[in-house]
Amino acid sequence: MVDQSLSVPKYWRRIPQYYRLTALKCRKCGKVYFPPRAVCECGSREFEDVELPRRGRLIEFTVLRSVTSDFEKQRPLIFGIVDLNGVRVLGQLVDCPNPEKLSDNAEVEVVFRRVKEDSDYGIIYYGFKLRPLKGCW
């Protein structure tokens, strides 16, 4: 059995998706995938890297007011689906103290924030989150 603490975490292999929002575009049909996948719906395995835009529109969202103790400081948690130029991305909405003022079709931008901290090894994990540009304060 492999000691997982010695292997390279899957997280680090996915840094282009977490830090740069890198997606794959099929060279045959043009469909864009985020997160990336190995085979397109058209059957092609030929892709090129594309960076997703940093701004998009909120399609739908949900607010979680009852959370576990791990997320108490982030309450209320807001998760939303955002359209980034035809690619839908799910993420946590941040910097929104009044979620009742948030609406579908709100403009959001991608920001990079701390996602979690591994207390055993002191590793801080970062990733993308979504911030409304207006209408949430």
10-residue block means of pLDDT along the chain (137 residues)?
Answer: 50 62 93 92 96 93 85 84 93 89 91 77 79 81
Whether residue 62 is contained in a domain is answered as yes
Q: What is the pLDDT of residue 126?
A: 76
Range of the domain at 58: 8-132
Amino acid 45: pLDDT: 97
Q: Are 125 and 115 in contact (CB under 8 A)?
A: yes
Note the pLDDT of residue 17: 59
**Residue 97 placed within a domain:** yes
Mean pLDDT of the chain: 83
Q: Say if strands 55-64 and 47-51 run parallel, antiparallel, or are unpaired.
A: unpaired
What pTM does this model have?
0.76
Evaluate whether residue 89 is within a structural domain. yes
> What pLDDT is stored for residue 18 in this prediction?
61
Beta strand 55-64 with 77-84 is antiparallel
Residue 50 lies in a domain: yes
Helix (H) or strand (E) holding 11: helix 10-13
- Centre a 10 Å sphere on the Cβ of residue 101 and count the other Cβ atoms it contains: 13
Residue 3 forms part of a structural domain: no
| Strand, coil or helix: 91 | strand
Domain count, the chain: 1
Q: Give Cα 46 distance to the centre of its chain.
A: 24
Predicted confidence at residue 134, as pLDDT, reads 82
* Residue 44 domain flag: yes
